Amino acid sequence: MRKHIRAIVLTAGVVAVAILIAVVLAMLVPGPRVIVPMVTRNVSPPAELDTSATRMSSSGLYRVSFTSVIEPIPINQIHNWTLHVETTDGHPVNDAKIGVTGGMPQHGHGLPTRPRVTQHLGNGYYVVEGLKFHMTGRWEVRFDISSSARSDGVIFSLLLQ
Amino acid sequence: MKANRVLFALVTLIIIGIVVCNLRTRMSRLTTSEIIAIGALWIGSLPPLSPDPSNQYADDPRAATLGQKLFFDVRFSANGKVACATCHVPELNFQDGLPLARGIGTTTRRTMTVVGAAYSPWLFWDGRKDSLWAQALGPLENQEEHGGNRTYHAHLIDEYYRAEYEAIFGSMPDLRRLPRSAGPGANFEAKSAWEAMAADDREAVTRIYANVGKAIAAYERLIRPGPSRFDAYALALMDGDAAAMQAAFSPDEAAGLRLFIGKAQCVRCHNGPLFTNNDFHNTGVPTVAGLPIDTGRAQGVPQVLADEFNCLGSYSDADKNHECAELKFMIGEGQELIGKFKTPSLRNVAERSPYMHAGQFTTLEDVVAHYNVAPIATIGDSELEPLHLSESEIQKIIAFLKTLNGRNDVGPRFVRPPK
């Protein structure tokens, strides 16, 4: 009799495992696009998001880099950045007029402040004052740079936690 | 044979059940970014209060003592019955529980709490003041609140607080020849008397008045929020102490927190250890019948720019070349300001009904239901999008919000009038 029960339990175990495997395999039919968000549910940054602090401007005229006076970039705290602008062959750009805009592309709103370039420090370095980020998530900060009649823009992406 | 089949089915179900339950608990574990988000809300991440460069007396204990006396002193009102503490009741988390504040008359907005206000760069629902001391000076001259004027208040300081005042701020000018009531506010007689005064006298009185605000601010800086049950949960989470986490939160409260930082997106604006970004947002809160149209930040911006007590004004102690960044880089105009109001802190929110800038909602159910539906704004454009929360999810968020109650971090001698 005991042998009999053991056989039943064993068969049940095999059937249970088979059912689970069948379910997992069936999940592959809708594909990973459906399953991955179900399992992870975490909104991870798009893999291609480039958050580097040095970038070429969109038409390739300038190489631009920023450093935040406060690192890591804080949430809810107004602070300054230093911006460096140089030509592709590495000459600092000293006569640039620079406009600052930005926002959260996924939320459809801009920056909570109106930051400005307030000072040229020489050697291609500029002070950007009044930056503030009042939410975590993905931000963009855009600098429109014009010097000697050549204008170009650069967008930095930030992922703030 | 029948018994065999039942046994077979039972064992199969039990095995599947165990595997599925295991997977579910594994999946319900918080992700790294969720843990970071919760840690950022923990009260332990609240930094020490930065100095207020516009108020050189902000951290002077003598100024705080004087400020505390002024905060509770009903003599600084037209009818001798209204003090700051009339609306900012210490026992009620320094607010009044009313939809619209009541002083001499009734105002058009809800009283905001003083707790943690020192951390905000902007004061009032519309941010028409940019420091705690400038804020304190608004109600003292508002005809619906204290109903006083600055010369009247200066005389009171001279008569009742002269020694303390002079010990902090220096010698008191001779006020005897000045009118009893005079100030630039709405009262016609006081305004005429003010305009008849010499510019030097007006300056001297306004200086005393600014110092009144600076003393009150020094006191208000001591009123900070204390830890809540949520903070015990957050600390346990960061310590990886599952037992302490379970002791702190029920499964519904934990689920509510997860919704708060996830699907419901509350944390977008209610972020940081004070559960506010201290910024301005249009959330489509309904207007109130009988009240004037309230455009919020759109009317606060021109007021703070014109305010003689702002960070860049002559009564501010700030180095105007290097400080006052919030004011200098503020968004100064535009459609985007219309209908925006300041994000309030959510600490002790369950004890602070009614909600919104004119007490539009009575319960937390009303509030979360509003965010869930995201109605079109009556003024400006709402930033909300429908959340598609189920009734059970709404209840979980509310269960979580109730864990934010905690005793304020204020010494007992600061919550009553000093002797």
Q: What is the DSSP string of B340-392?
A: BEEPPP-TTGGGS-SBSTT--BSSHHHHHHHHHH-PPPSSS----------HH
pLDDT, residue A29, reads 59
Query: How close does chain A come to B330, measured CA to CA in Å?
Result: 5
For residue B322, what is the nearest residue in chain A, using CA coordinates?
Answer: A129
Q: Which residues of A49-80 are buried (b: 16+ CB within 10 A; e: fewer)?
A: eeeeeebebeeebbbbbbebeeeebbbbbbbb
Q: Residue A38, SS3?
A: helix
Which tens digits make up the pLDDT trace of B199-251?
Answer: 999 999 999 999 999 999 999 999 999 999 999 999 999 999 999 999 999 99
- Considering all CA atoms of chain B, what is the largest pairwise distance in Å, rounded to the nearest integer? 111
> Mean per-residue pLDDT for A152-160?
97
Task: Enter the ipTM.
Answer: 0.90
> Mean per-residue pLDDT for B360-379?
97
Q: Is pLDDT above 80 for A2?
A: no
pLDDT, residue B186, reads 76
Which tens digits make up the pLDDT trace of B245-290?
Answer: 999 999 999 999 999 999 999 999 999 999 999 999 999 999 999 9
Residue of B11, B268, B325 with shortest CB distance to A12: B11
Query: A149 pLDDT band (50/70/90 cuts)?
Result: low
When the pLDDT of each residue in chain B is averaged and rounded to a whole number, the result is 95
Which tens digits make up the pLDDT trace of A30-84?
Answer: 544 444 444 444 445 566 789 999 999 999 999 999 999 999 999 999 999 999 9
A114:B329 CB<8 A: yes
Query: B6 pLDDT band (50/70/90 cuts)?
Result: confident
Cα–Cα distance measured from residue B411 to residue B224, given in angstroms and rounded to the nearest whole number: 10
**The amino acid at B361:** F
Query: How close does chain A come to B338, measured CA to CA in Å?
Result: 14
Which tens digits make up the pLDDT trace of B281-300?
Answer: 999 999 999 999 999 999 99
Q: Which of B22, B50, B277 to mutate against chain A (most A CBs within 10 Å)?
A: B277
pLDDT, residue A30, reads 53
Which tens digits make up the pLDDT trace of A77-107?
Answer: 999 999 999 999 999 999 999 999 999 999 8
pTM flag (> 0.80): yes
Query: B28 pLDDT band (50/70/90 cuts)?
Result: low
- The answer, for B15 touching chain A at a CB cutoff of 8 Å, is yes
When the pLDDT of each residue in chain A is averaged and rounded to a whole number, the result is 86
Q: Which residues of B94-104 are buried (b: 16+ CB within 10 A; e: fewer)?
A: bbbeebbbbbb
B271:A135 CB<8 A: yes
Which residue in A114, A10, A120 sits closest to B334, CA to CA? A114
Q: Is pLDDT above 70 for B25?
A: no
Kindly report the backbone phi and psi dihedral angles of residue B17, in degrees, each rounded to the nearest multiple of 5, phi listed first.
-60, -50
pLDDT, residue A40, reads 41
Q: Is pLDDT above 60 for B27?
A: no
* Percentage of the residues of chain B whose pLDDT score is greater than 90: 91
Residue of B11, B15, B272 with shortest CB distance to A76: B272
Tokens 């005809």 -> residue? B143
pLDDT, residue B49, reads 96
Q: What share of chain A is helix, strand, coil (3-state, %, to 5)?
A: 20, 40, 35
pLDDT, residue B34, reads 95
Q: Which of A135, A139, A160 to mutate against chain B (most B CBs within 10 Å)?
A: A135
B8:A110 CB<8 A: no
Query: How close does chain B come to A16, measured CA to CA in Å?
Result: 5
Check if the beta carbon of residue A62 is closer than 8 Å to that of residue A93.
yes
| B contacts of A107 (beta carbons < 8 Å) | 268, 383
pLDDT, residue A32, reads 43
B262:A136 CB<8 A: no
- The answer, for B326 touching chain A at a CB cutoff of 8 Å, is yes
- The answer, for B140 touching chain A at a CB cutoff of 8 Å, is no
Residue of A76, A78, A134 with shortest CB distance to B329: A78
| A contacts of B9 (beta carbons < 8 Å) | 12
Q: Is pLDDT above 80 for B367?
A: yes
- Considering all CA atoms of chain A, what is the largest pairwise distance in Å, rounded to the nearest integer? 96
> Mean per-residue pLDDT for B140-166?
97
Check if the beta carbon of residue A138 is closer than 8 Å to that of residue A106.
yes
Which tens digits make up the pLDDT trace of B389-413?
Answer: 999 999 999 999 999 999 999 988 9
> Mean per-residue pLDDT for B42-50?
96
Which tens digits make up the pLDDT trace of B82-98?
Answer: 999 999 999 999 999 99
> Mean per-residue pLDDT for B135-164?
97
Q: Is residue B354 reached through a cis peptide bond, with omega within 30 degrees of 0 on the bond before it?
A: yes
A78:B278 CB<8 A: no
Q: Is pLDDT above 60 for A22?
A: yes
Cα–Cα distance measured from residue B86 to residue B17, given in angstroms and rounded to the nearest whole number: 59
**The amino acid at A75:** I
How far apart, in Å, do the first and last CA atoms of chain A sit?
Answer: 62
Q: Is pLDDT above 70 for A24?
A: no
For residue B6, what is the nearest residue in chain A, using CA coordinates?
Answer: A8
| B contacts of A129 (beta carbons < 8 Å) | 325, 328-329
B16:A20 CB<8 A: yes
A16:B34 CB<8 A: no
pLDDT, residue A98, reads 98
